[in-house]
């Protein structure tokens, strides 16, 4: 199996963060593939947004169009079946006794990265890009830098390949993520993020806000809105 450090695999949900990370990768690597996961998420509409975002990014930048390769979609419905969270059911969003919101899907990012590494292994790719963040997030332990470093080591040891997990958003907040979007792709990319990506936990796309579509009240919408307001000043 041959590997090439000019190739990378981006975990791509169709949301703001993963789209920004995809643009980040497109500016750095010669060939980029994407992988998404259908795990029975309440906001499954993000799966419909993914191809529209990819098409819009190709249309916005011919160089990106040349670099974008195959998109992989993996059915992880069993994750939703064994999870008891507000992201995989119609339960009300609330805080749990352990201090984590019930939007936390235990093991989700660990499973995502394991399956992504399996795809990367088969494709001869050693670099995986994930849009996790420790600075401006909901407290999820599987978004922390220590977790990513541990997963990188585990995947490298378990598959006997030197995997690297890149996390471009790890130490920036949502306002800085919006600013990064503009730096990477100008107004065209900002417009794609606003119009085409999906972040709302409730899967709401009926109402258009300045920052995009969503219910406007769930934790994910609040983060996106507050970041937008700080970014636009």
Evaluate whether 205 touches 50 at the Cβ level (below 8 Å). Answer: no
pLDDT digits (tens, 9 = 90+) for 119-160: 999 999 999 999 999 886 667 888 899 999 999 999 999 999
Dihedral sign from CA coordinates of 105, 106, 108, 109: positive
Q: Which pair of structure tokens corresponds to residue 155? A: 């995947």
Per-residue model confidence (pLDDT) at position 140: 81
- Give the residue from 130, 151, 155, 169 showing the smallest Cα distance to 9: 130
Dihedral sign from CA coordinates of 48, 194, 215, 79: positive
State the pTM of this model: 0.90
Per-residue model confidence (pLDDT) at position 1: 36
Q: Which pair of structure tokens corresponds to residue 163? A: 């995997």
pLDDT band, residue 203 (cuts 50/70/90): confident
Per the listing, tokens 């970014």 go with 231
Evaluate whether 86 touches 94 at the Cβ level (below 8 Å). Answer: yes
Q: How many CA atoms lie within 13 A of 73 on its CB side?
A: 12
Evaluate whether 120 touches 25 at the Cβ level (below 8 Å). Answer: no
Name all domains of the chain by residue range, CATH numbers in brackets: 7-232 (3.40.50.620)
How many whole angstroms separate alpha carbon 83 and alpha carbon 80? 5
pLDDT digits (tens, 9 = 90+) for 48-74: 999 999 999 999 999 999 999 999 999
Average pLDDT over residues 105-125: 91
pLDDT band, residue 3 (cuts 50/70/90): very low
């Amino acid at each position: 199996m041959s590997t090439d450090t000019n190739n990378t695999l981006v975990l791509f949900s169709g949301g703001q963060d993963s789209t920004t990370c995809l643009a980040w990768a497109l500016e750095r690597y010669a060939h980029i593939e994407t992988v998404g996961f259908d795990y029975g998420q309440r906001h499954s509409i993000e799966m419909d947004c993914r191809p529209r975002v990819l098409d819009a990014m190709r249309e916005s930048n011919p160089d990106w169009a040349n670099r974008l390769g195959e998109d992989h979609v993996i059915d992880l419905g069993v994750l939703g079946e064994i999870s008891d969270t507000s992201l995989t059911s119609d339960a009300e969003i609330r805080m749990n006794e352990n201090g984590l919101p019930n939007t936390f899907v235990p093991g989700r990012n660990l499973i995502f990265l394991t399956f992504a590494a399996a795809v990367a292994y088969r494709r001869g790719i050693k670099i995986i890009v994930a849009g996790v963040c420790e600075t401006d997030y909901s407290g999820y332990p599987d978004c922390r830098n220590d977790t990513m470093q541990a997963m990188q080591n585990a995947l490298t040891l378990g598959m006997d390949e030197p995997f690297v997990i890149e996390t471009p958003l790890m130490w920036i907040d949502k306002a800085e993520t919006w600013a990064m979007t503009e730096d990477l792709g100008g107004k065209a990319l900002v417009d794609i993020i606003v119009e085409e990506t999906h972040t709302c936990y409730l899967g709401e796309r009926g109402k258009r806000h300045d920052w995009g579509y969503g219910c406007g009240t769930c934790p994910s919408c609040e983060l996106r809105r507050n970041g937008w307001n700080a970014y636009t000043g």
